[in-house]
Amino acid sequence: MTTTLITGASSGIGAELARQLAARGHDLALCARRTERLEELRAEIVAAHPDRIVAVKALDVTDDDAVFRVFHEFDTELSGVDRVVVNAGLGKGAPIGVGGYAANKATAMTNFIGALAQCEAAMEIFRARKRGHLVVISSMSAMRGMPKTVTTYAATKAGIAHLAEGIRVEMRGKPDLDITVSTIYPGYIRSEMNEKVEQRTKFMVDTETGVRGIVEAIEKGVESARVPAWPWKPLGTAMRHLPLGIVRKLT
Ligand SMILES: NC(=O)c1ccc[n+]([C@@H]2O[C@H](COP(=O)([O-])OP(=O)(O)OC[C@H]3O[C@@H](n4cnc5c(N)ncnc54)[C@H](OP(=O)(O)O)[C@@H]3O)[C@@H](O)[C@H]2O)c1
């Protein structure tokens, strides 16, 4: 039995992760700013799986103090959080230098500083217990610098992938700590974010299919996974190594 904390659980990937993990027997700690959505999700999950414990709390991940407080409250109230999925994210953005700093800063604060606070809070809990599983939701856009509205978003996703890798490397040198760190690079998975971000929709999969791939990777405790594997596994390798002019056409 695993207790999984998911941030950004009020819609899209986070909400579907909650549904699929509950179906696999996980208890859940769910947070986001829209608590009415979380309450609806809790009711739906408990109706389908009456034995599951589903706790919900309001959390804005840009409020540092709240991130630490809420994570520790969940840990205490649920007798231990085993896994944290750093999922909350924002897709707002504008090309750099055209007056869109507010949108880019909001994305940077949510996706990078917010994720840093979540990793800090999760690792505090895991280090104290000497075990745990940290899952960071990056993006295929992290593979290279991206143009226009995605520039800042892609930079935040590359940043958190490096953050996760740094923690993973440190944990390798600490055999007394049984802490796994997984970085997930989703491709295009249908969610509320796709309605807000300007992006082409080729290779888009439905939420359930996309999240099934994420759940399989998480449950295996992989170091990293591009999801869905097709076409993103080979495409990710191509994106990393091909000239930027070609990458631009592929994405
Ligand atoms: N869908 C894709 O194709 C795709 C691809 C690559 C990576 N991702 C990543 O997957 C993650 C989930 O995104 P999604 O696609 O499922 O989009 P989504 O449907 O828009 O969900 C975003 C979630 O993040 C939460 N969130 C946003 N700002 C927050 C804040 N300041 N504090 C707390 N929660 C906040 C939202 O909840 P509230 O608004 O209720 O707070 C919502 O639950 C993101 O990190 C995204 O970058 C998605």
Q: How confident is the model over 218-243, as pLDDT tens digits?
A: 999 999 999 999 999 999 999 999 99
Q: Is 156 in the pocket of ligand 1 (CB under 6 A)?
A: no
List the residue whose alpha carbon is closest to atom 47 of ligand 1. Answer: 89
pLDDT band at 196 (very low <50, low <70, confident <90, very high): low
Distance 107 CA to ligand 1 centre (A): 11
The helix (H) or strand (E) run that includes residue 107 is helix 101-108
The residue whose CB lies within 8 Å of the most ligand 1 atoms, and thus the one to mutate among 57, 87, 160, is: 87
**Long-range own/partner contacts, residues 188-191 (CB < 8 A, 24 or more apart):** 189/12, 189/13, 189/227, 190/12, 191/11, 191/12, 191/13
Mean pLDDT throughout 105-127? 98
Q: Is 199 in the pocket of ligand 1 (CB under 6 A)?
A: no
Distance 11 CA to ligand 1 centre (A): 7
Q: Is 87 in the pocket of ligand 1 (CB under 6 A)?
A: yes
List the residue whose alpha carbon is closest to atom 1 of ligand 1. Answer: 189
Q: Tell whether the model's pLDDT for residue 101 goes beyond 60.
A: yes
User: 85 Cβ partners below 8 Å, 6+ apart?
Assistant: 4, 5, 6, 7, 14, 17, 135, 137, 218
- The whole-number pLDDT of residue 2 equals 95
The residue whose CB lies within 8 Å of the most ligand 1 atoms, and thus the one to mutate among 61, 65, 156, 191, is: 191
Q: Is 28 in the pocket of ligand 1 (CB under 6 A)?
A: no
- The whole-number pLDDT of residue 202 equals 76
Q: Tell whether the model's pLDDT for residue 8 goes beyond 80.
A: yes
How far does CA 224 lie from the centroid of its chain?
12
Q: Is 210 in the pocket of ligand 1 (CB under 6 A)?
A: no
Q: Tell whether the model's pLDDT for residue 18 goes beyond 70.
A: yes
Q: Tell whether the model's pLDDT for residue 198 goes beyond 80.
A: no
Q: Tell whether the model's pLDDT for residue 249 goes beyond 90.
A: no
Mean pLDDT throughout 51-55? 97
Distance, in Å, from the CA atom of 16 to the CA atom of 11, rounded to the nearest integer, reads 8
Matching residue, tokens 């896994």: 83
Mean pLDDT throughout 87-95? 96
List the residue whose alpha carbon is closest to atom 41 of ligand 1. Answer: 33
DSSP-derived letter for residue 7 is: E
Mean pLDDT throughout 84-100? 97
Q: What is the position in ligand 1's atom list of the atom closest to the CA of 15?
A: 43
Select from 211, 135, 212 the least CA-distant residue to 167: 135
* Residue 39 three-state SS: helix
Distance, in Å, from the CA atom of 104 to the CA atom of 102, rounded to the nearest integer, reads 6
pLDDT band at 1 (very low <50, low <70, confident <90, very high): confident
Select from 85, 103, 112 the least CA-distant residue to 13: 85
Q: In this structure, what are the phi and psi dihedrals at residue 220, rounded to the nearest 5 degrees?
A: -80, -15
Distance 113 CA to ligand 1 centre (A): 15
pLDDT band at 199 (very low <50, low <70, confident <90, very high): low
- The whole-number pLDDT of residue 44 equals 98
pTM: 0.97
Residue of 101, 153, 185, 188 marked active site? 153
- The whole-number pLDDT of residue 250 equals 67
Q: How confident is the model over 156-194, as pLDDT tens digits?
A: 999 999 999 999 999 999 999 999 999 999 999 999 988
Length of the chain: 251
The residue whose CB lies within 8 Å of the most ligand 1 atoms, and thus the one to mutate among 7, 11, 17, is: 11
Catalytic residue flag (residue 101): no
* Residue 226 three-state SS: strand
- The whole-number pLDDT of residue 200 equals 58
- The whole-number pLDDT of residue 17 equals 98
